[in-house]
Amino acid sequence: MTASTEETRSVFVTGLRNAHALETEAEQIIKRQLERLDDYPQMAQMLRTHLQETERQKERIDQILGSMSESTSSIKEGAMSLMGNMAAMAHMPADDEVLKNTFADLAFENYEIAAYKSLITMAQACGASSAQGLLQQSLQEEQRMARWIDDNVEEITRQYISRRASAH
């Protein structure tokens, strides 16, 4: 292995570990939001589906790291600061938390989209073709989720307004 090949591989492994930590963060945020989404059944359904996707995305990352003889067991799942802030936002016990969660979720999905595009580029640079296919699947799931949130901000806001109106 040449020095530059080794460096490229190392960049990819670090990227995969970061993505694994990101998906762990995503799982926690989704689970926390699901505890208080009874009034928003469509959003809850989307999040339940995406929680399953997120679990599969972590498995794909494990699979890729495993194929590169790298283990995930020693990964420290420390929150990155951006995500840490969003997580805090996600469980802020505010009346309008569904709105703030929606904004944060859209930002989070777009962060994940950027991360997967970057990982796919790293996989290409490493010539890891099977990894590219797996990462592409995860990218598509993130894009689908981001599109759904983007398309439903207005609807969720209308539901929030009518719930507020009927509660007063």
Residues that bind Fe ion (CB under 5 A): 112, 142
Closest to Fe ion by CB, 16 vs 126, is: 16
- The least CB distance from residue 161 to Fe ion, in Å, is 27
- Nearer to Fe ion by Cβ, of 19 and 122: the residue is 19
Angle 29-103-95 from CA coordinates, rounded to 5°: 80
- Specify the residue, 140 or 162, whose C-beta has the smaller distance to Fe ion: 140
Dist. CA 20–CA 24, nearest whole Å: 6
Give the Cα separation of 35 and 55 in Å (integer). 18
**One-letter amino acid identity for 133?**
G
User: Residue 39 CB, nearest distance to Fe ion (Å)?
Assistant: 22
In the bound state with Fe ion, the residue whose beta carbon lies nearer, of 115 and 126, is 115
Please say which residue, 10 or 45, places its beta carbon nearer to Fe ion. Answer: 45
Q: Whole-angstrom Cα distance, residue 102 to residue 88?
A: 14
Alpha carbon distance 35, 158 (integer Å): 21
Least CB distance from residue 7 to Fe ion, whole Å?
29
**What's the closest the beta carbon of residue 99 comes to Fe ion, in angstroms?**
19
Q: How far is the CB of 55 from Fe ion (least distance, A)?
A: 11
Angstrom CA distances, 29 to 5, 48, 87, 111, stand at 36, 12, 6, 14
CA 12 – CA 132 distance, rounded (Å): 12
Q: How far apart are CA 84 and CA 42, in angstroms?
A: 26
Residue for token digits 């969003």? 86
